[in-house]
A and B are shown apart, each in its own frame.
Chain A
């Protein structure tokens, strides 16, 4: 035993005697995690959140959440002597007069944008691989809650500097609150303590931004990770991987090193970007006053889709009993996100209901093996992306010399027409890929070699699948869901089905989900198919034997065709292909 090990052992014993940690650590450090690059996307979110927390603490030391009007007297000349809120003045001070302040501010903002983007990418991975299925539905809901809180954290932070851009955002937020029927006006007065912009809102938002939301996010991240820990991580199909095991490496030392290293990479890249690329140049936008607004005012990217919905929605208002209901704001900015987040949160239950499947799923689906789900995901992303374009319609109009009116009309029609097209195309692509996989499982690879049989027939030689690929393709059997059969009004014993109508709906949904999927071959069929392929390949065997024996250069002999290169013996060809024909 080396000295280091001795010292380490002593420290471990010392700690264990007092907190009883050895048993827990002994087990945990050996915990096995499956390996795939896409499993690290959530880590980017986690690490960027840590950067946000650390840089945020620095910013609180200098930021003043006050709307008291002051005269700016800092070192940024183009604003010297201008009246502004203390919040804006202190943000300018952080940017120009606090050592390293601008770097930390930019790190905070870039890391925040990255946090939400990484959460989104992580969510895509979880969705497209079906990782949200039983037993992980609750963790999916926590994930949706985390994204929602992330939007809240981002928007509240965007509003704190009290510059022209953030004030414009707040004014829109207030308009959205006001658009809620009946309670809207009261709600807006409650939040802002009177007329806009008032004198209270920044300090109220500050508490929400630095305490309430980060506290909730931290708590939910903890639960999120604990659930991953106890439920174990899902894995992609592969040789030796089943629904009941986890194939991978232990936490210590492999994942400790990987995750630790990745943390520093994330930290480093964020710092690099923040040192090189400006984000939110509040000094250009100037202090907020309600009588000013800048062209090209945008929210940060994650709110962009809601702003886009607001921008493209037709201008509809109703006057009811002397009260105006602004559908043009209420529907795109309140109803739409409400529906989107609710459907997203409950999606695992909708799909589980359609399948009638109550089993645990620890093995991931390949996206092609769930064509309807994959297509729904692509449809949602397309919808989101179109609204996002709507959020930047003015910037797009001036950049590409287009008419903003044309863009709005394109999007009004496009958000209804294009996502369904994306759905259909994606589903057809998935089904096409399923067909290809089925073909491969039954008939192996097409080798591209044409063989002439003694009686003159030409066949293309197929090759059996490598075991690894075969294991991956065979996962289609596990992923396949047959549509539910049409329900019976009375069962075999003549008892009436009380839930008949619901069951009809369920069968219809199931049919819509799964009727077009390609049924994978059974294991017996695969076995028979691969055996047939091996038989085909065996037809070539005499050729190899002949050539190996003679080593004569007989390039085109026996009907083996080549299209390029120097003539080669079959033995040479064999060597070139690593010994397997």
Chain B
């Protein structure tokens, strides 16, 4: 204290004090001005959040807890983000009809507005991945071939090379991607639903996600150059077709030729 007292009349002190005062005033002003529009948005959103909370308490809280803190039957939703809510609810996976290895896709019970409200409520609890913007979902300029390479490296081992889906252990499965929308694919990569790993923007940048979406969309829309595709799952379907169809036809023909001779 003595040292401080000895220096308090130093000429530099006035300048320092002035600087601190200015910083304080400027800071308070900055906070005050920025807080005003945020509050305005907050009040506009508040209705959606309240509505979302009501829907949440009604449809989700029995498993995820009254404050989304999670229970023995469902994980916490704090920090999962709006993208996760949108993916799970808009594809019918949540709310789950019954406990099982994995939430199956089923008809959706909520309107788009309901889903958005619940997403807003969950997003209001803690920051998390947001619903992708139209700009993020625009894959028109993406490189399909690059997407194919990325798909085979990152996705094919579970979803199968043609995106037809594949089995995982204990009744879990990676679903078919043949009817998934760009938004669903993007949100799935972003949030890692069910058994899927998270492909955050740091590991799989936005352009790569767009390329993968472009490739999957191409798989969905592409015609089959070789004729009937047999599910594009390869040898199992081909073998079944051979035995149940082709061999049966040939035995029929052989019997026919055999009968004619009599």
Given contacts A301-B242, A397-B173, A398-B173, contact A404 B167 (CB under 8 A): yes
* B238 contacts A295, C-beta separation under 8 Å: no
Q: Which segment, of A254-262, A359-367, A550-558, faces chain B? A: A254-262
* A295 contacts B166, C-beta separation under 8 Å: yes
A258 to B254, CA, bound (A): 10
- How many residues of A sit at the interface, in one of the four size bands? 35 or more
* A117 contacts B247, C-beta separation under 8 Å: yes
* B156 contacts A300, C-beta separation under 8 Å: no
What is the number of contacts between chain A and chain B, taking CB atoms within 8 Å? Answer: 202
* B228 contacts A284, C-beta separation under 8 Å: no
* B149 contacts A82, C-beta separation under 8 Å: yes
Query: A296 contacts the other chain (Cβ, under 8 Å)?
Result: yes
Given contacts A40-B254, A165-B234, A293-B157, contact A275 B166 (CB under 8 A): no
Per-residue contact bits, chain A 67-105, to B (CB 8 Å; 1 contact, 0 not): 000000000011111100000000000011000001000
* A395 contacts B226, C-beta separation under 8 Å: no
Q: Write out the residue numbers on chain A whose beta carbons fall within 8 Å of the beta carbon of B174.
A: 295
CB interface residues, A 247-281, toward B, < 8 Å: 249, 254, 258, 261-262, 265-266, 269, 273, 275-281
A165 to B258, CA, bound (A): 41
* A296 contacts B164, C-beta separation under 8 Å: yes
Q: Write out the residue numbers on chain B whose beta carbons fall within 8 Å of the beta carbon of A266.
A: 250
* B159 contacts A295, C-beta separation under 8 Å: yes
Pick from B148, B165, B170, B242: contact of A82, CB under 8 Å = B148
A286 to B154, CA, bound (A): 13
Q: Write out the residue numbers on chain A whose beta carbons fall within 8 Å of the beta carbon of B261.
A: 35, 249, 254, 258
A82 to B148, CA, bound (A): 9
Closest to B158 in A: A295
Shortest Cβ distance from residue A180 to the other chain B in the assembled complex, whole angstroms: 25
Q: Write out the residue numbers on chain A whose beta carbons fall within 8 Å of the beta carbon of B160.
A: 294-296
A391 to B158, CA, bound (A): 17
Query: B152 contacts the other chain (Cβ, under 8 Å)?
Result: yes
* B254 contacts A41, C-beta separation under 8 Å: yes
* B227 contacts A276, C-beta separation under 8 Å: yes
* B229 contacts A37, C-beta separation under 8 Å: no
* B228 contacts A78, C-beta separation under 8 Å: no
* A304 contacts B247, C-beta separation under 8 Å: no
* B152 contacts A294, C-beta separation under 8 Å: yes
Q: Which of A79, A273, A294, A394 has the most CB of B within 10 A?
A: A294
Pick from A96, A254, A292, A401: contact of B152, CB under 8 Å = A292
CB interface residues, B 231-262, toward A, < 8 Å: 232-239, 241-243, 246-247, 249-251, 253-259, 261-262
Q: Write out the residue numbers on chain B whose beta carbons fall within 8 Å of the beta carbon of A401.
A: 171, 173
Binding site of A, secondary structure by majority: helix, strand, loop or mixed? helix
A394 to B160, CA, bound (A): 11
Given contacts A78-B145, A296-B160, contact A397 B239 (CB under 8 A): no
Q: Write out the residue numbers on chain B whose beta carbons fall within 8 Å of the beta carbon of A292.
A: 152-153, 156-157
Q: Write out the residue numbers on chain B whose beta carbons fall within 8 Å of the beta carbon of A37.
A: 251, 254-259
Query: B161 contacts the other chain (Cβ, under 8 Å)?
Result: yes
Pick from A110, A118, A279, A398: contact of B166, CB under 8 Å = A398
Q: Write out the residue numbers on chain A whose beta carbons fall within 8 Å of the beta carbon of B205.
A: none
* A117 contacts B234, C-beta separation under 8 Å: no
Q: Write out the residue numbers on chain B whose beta carbons fall within 8 Å of the beta carbon of A38.
A: 254, 258
A301 to B240, CA, bound (A): 8
* B145 contacts A299, C-beta separation under 8 Å: no
Q: Which of A164, A298, A300, A395 has the most CB of B within 10 A?
A: A395
A404 to B219, CA, bound (A): 26
Query: A106 contacts the other chain (Cβ, under 8 Å)?
Result: yes
Q: Write out the residue numbers on chain A whose beta carbons fall within 8 Å of the beta carbon of B156.
A: 164, 286, 292-295
**A→B interface (CB under 8 Å):** 35-38, 40-41, 44, 77-82, 95-96, 102, 106, 110, 113-114, 117-118, 121, 164-165, 249, 254, 258, 261-262, 265-266, 269, 273, 275-281, 283-286, 291-301, 304, 391-395, 397-398, 401-406
29 contacts between A and B (CB under 8 A): A37-B256, A40-B257, A40-B258, A44-B250, A78-B145, A78-B218, A106-B226, A106-B227, A110-B242, A117-B247, A118-B250, A121-B247, A262-B254, A269-B253, A277-B230, A279-B226, A281-B162, A281-B225, A285-B162, A293-B156, A294-B157, A297-B234, A300-B239, A301-B243, A304-B239, A395-B236, A402-B171, A404-B167, A406-B171
